[in-house]
Every structure is written in structure tokens, then in C-alpha cells.
Amino acid sequence: MIRCCVILSILVSFVNCKLNYVSSSDSDVNLDSYQLIGKYGYRPEKHLVETEDGYIVSLFRIVGNGPPVLLAHGLADSSDSWLVLGPSMSLAYQLSDAGFDIWLYNSRGNKYSRGSTRDFSEKEYWDFSFEEMGTKDMPACIDYILRVTSREKITYVGFSQGTTIFFVMCSSKPEYNEKINHAVLLAPVAWVNTIEYPFINFLGRYLKFLIVMFDNLGIHEIFTENVRRTRQGIECNKSVLVCDFDYYINFGVTNFNNLALNKIDIIDSHIPAGASTKTFAHFIQGYRDKQFQKFDYGFGKNFALYSSIYPPQYNVTKVTVPLSLIASESDKLSDIEDVKILVSKLRTIKRFSVFNKTTDFTHIEFAYGKRVKELVNNPVTNILLEEIKKSNET
């Protein structure tokens, strides 16, 4: 696969600019999700799920006897995000300890989900966005989990893009609302009208040109896994300013000390994990058009695909799953004003929690923050246990 170097990627706002602060002293740096689960005494499984359009996506499982919970990661991340902070801080382990059967999704195109049953060209393979993740990947994964576990429903936990996929699925394939008993959505992303991202105005204004340019250059993948290996051996304690700038540009972190600094080498050795250029473009399109809608191919192809010259909007009023949302006023990527637009359209919200500005809780902290157990994991675990108790009582 062709990968995008950092100099070329500056036009897409440092999407590949990740330095590596790997410390060889910590063995977790080089472990994949399966190994991370097994190392700490949990029972791991890896499952491969075939989608209807010929992609193979991976699910990692922490085997348990309780109700199944499916966790969906953010953009250019992977199942590692739910594991790398270790058993004392990572949500996947905490939910497993609470008695749940844990399933970790990996979106098509990330380092764990690059298989296919079709003979794709490189360009054909990367021709997907969060649209296909929501209409192809996630439905296939849910059906697979229900079949393996002999259950009727799952519980869903999504972070960032993991919430976007959820909204796409439930609005495009509303029958899947009936297969989810509850969804917890962390830093939800649908409308991105006020998102703060480097060069966002430039990217939105020249999106069509940039799409054509990258296509002509054969650059179909960004946030590639290999980028983190381009600058080995630069440790955060040797270059604090580099760390601060890197995480601010890529994740909106304003206070680097709010990250789990004792795990920073492990975190940085596992992100990014790969994504398609088209997925990134789809998010930028949302900012440009101020709509949560399908991919815009231009008038001609739009009409052929959608019977309209404009891409249809995702109708989130079709979401009927009971919902719990957690957002933050300091989140630049899931901006609170955009979240409010979403909330105004959802009809089944049972809980909506917002960290105020003084908490200074940024986007990446939902996965990698040092306060994640207290502010996110404990509430999520309690919500799921409460929902299970209610279902048992009825």
C-alpha cells in the first residue's frame, strides 16, 4: 500500500505527522491486541468477519460469560485504544472484570483489518469511508457476535468515529436498532460544523482539488501505521516541546500532563493505525457543507447513486436505541455546539453528561487520559451494570 509522508501530508494537516517516543524497556510497546489481552491473564480470541462487499475486518474478544459489549474505536485508531493503558485503567479490562463479554472492533483499513475476499486494486480497496463502516462493517460484526454468543442483543460503546459509524448504521439500516439494547457514545461525532482542526478552512475550501490531487498521486491511505516509525528514539522526556506540539496538532491536547504520561511510549507505539484518505475527506466534507450526509461525488455521480444531485443526509431521528452520551466543552474535535445539534435530533437519550470547560478534558483523553478511569470508565461501567439490572428486573 502507498503511504503518505509527513511533508506531503501537511496539506491534510499533519495527518501523518507522528513521532515515536518508544521506550524499549516496556514490553507492551510491541504487543498487539491479542497479546495485550493474554499478557494480563484474560482469555483472548481473534475473529475475522467478512462483509457483504468483500472486506475482512477483525474482532478481538476478551471472553466472558456475561452479556456481549462491542467497543468501537476512533479515527485511525484500533482495538489497542481500549487496552494500552493496562488492566488498571483501560475500559475493556474494566468491563470484563465487571462480568461482560468484550468484543473489540477494528474498522476496515486499519492495521488489523486489511484482508479481503476480492481481488481489489489498491485504489479499489481504499475506496471507502465511515459510510461503509456503518452500513457494511458494523452490521456484519453485530450479526457475527450475536450468532457466536447466541444472544439477541449487544451493548454498544463507541468513541468519536465509533459513534459516527453507529449513527450511520442506525439511520441507514434501522433494523439494527433492534439488535442493540443500549449505546454509550463518548465524544460523539456527527455534525462537525464548528470542529477545530489545523487548516480546516483551507481543507474545506479546496477539498475537491485535494481529493483529485491525492487520487492522481496514488495516495489512498493516511494516518499510516508506519509513520510512527519514521523518527525512532525521540523520547518525550528529551523533547517535551515536540510532544506538546505533536499532540496539540493531532488531538487538540492543551495540557500534555492530562495524558497518561507513564504510558506515553506505549500509546505512541500503537497510534496511528491507518485509515483511508476518503474517510478523512468525508469528515472534512461535513465541515464544508455543515451537514451530516453521505459522501459527495459531484452532481453526476450523486444523481446516479442517490437519485439526487446532492448527497442525502443521515436521518438520526431513526435511531431508537436507548442512549447515554458523554461529551466535553474542551473537546475541539467533538465540539459541544455540534454535539448540541445532534442531541436536539435524537429522541432516545437517557443520559447526557458534559465535562465543563474547567475540567480541560480533551478529545484524546476519552481513550488515553490519566483521568479516564475516574471520569469515563467508572461511569460507563456503572451505566452498563445499571442497564443490565433493569433488564433483569423486567
pLDDT band at 230 (very low <50, low <70, confident <90, very high): very low
- The three-class DSSP label of residue 160 is coil
Inside any domain, residue 391: no
What's the whole-number mean pLDDT along residues 74-90? Answer: 97
Report whether pLDDT(134) > 50.
Answer: yes
Least confident of 63-67, 236-240, 362-366: 236-240
The per-residue pLDDT for 391 is 80
Inside any domain, residue 3: no
Q: How far apart are CA 187 and CA 385, in angstroms?
A: 21
Residues 32-45 pLDDT 10s: 999 999 999 999 99
Which CATH number covers residue 126? Answer: 3.40.50.1820
Catalytic residues: 160, 363
What's the whole-number mean pLDDT along residues 257-273? Answer: 86
Inside any domain, residue 370: yes
Contact between 188 and 339 under an 8 Å Cβ cutoff? The reply is yes
How many domains, in total, are found in the chain? 1
What dihedral do alpha carbons 227, 228, 232, 236 form, nearest 10°? 140
The per-residue pLDDT for 394 is 67
Report whether pLDDT(164) > 50.
Answer: yes
- The three-class DSSP label of residue 276 is strand
Inside any domain, residue 392: no
Contact between 89 and 99 under an 8 Å Cβ cutoff? The reply is no
State whether the Cα torsion 223-78-353-330 is positive or negative.
Answer: negative
Residues 328-350 pLDDT 10s: 999 999 999 999 999 999 999 99
Three cell numbers at 88? 488498571
Contact between 218 and 361 under an 8 Å Cβ cutoff? The reply is no
Contact between 35 and 56 under an 8 Å Cβ cutoff? The reply is no
The per-residue pLDDT for 265 is 85
Residues 178-220 pLDDT 10s: 999 999 999 999 999 999 888 899 999 999 999 999 999 999 9
Inside any domain, residue 93: yes
Q: Where are the alpha helices (DSSP H) in the chain?
A: 33-39, 91-97, 122-125, 130-132, 138-149, 161-172, 200-205, 207-216, 240-251, 264-270, 277-289, 299-306, 336-345, 365-368, 372, 378-393
State the DSSP code for 375. Answer: I
Residues 136-158 pLDDT 10s: 999 999 999 999 999 999 999 99
Q: Which residues constitute the domain of residue 105?
A: 8-385
The per-residue pLDDT for 231 is 37
φ, ψ (nearest 5 deg) of residue 184: -105, 120
Three cell numbers at 311? 448527497
User: Between vectors from CA 27 to CA 26 and to CA 32, what angle results, nearest 5°?
Assistant: 130
The per-residue pLDDT for 371 is 96
Inside any domain, residue 165: yes
Residues 275-334 pLDDT 10s: 999 999 999 999 999 999 999 999 999 999 999 999 999 999 999 999 999 999 999 999
Inside any domain, residue 250: yes
Inside any domain, residue 1: no
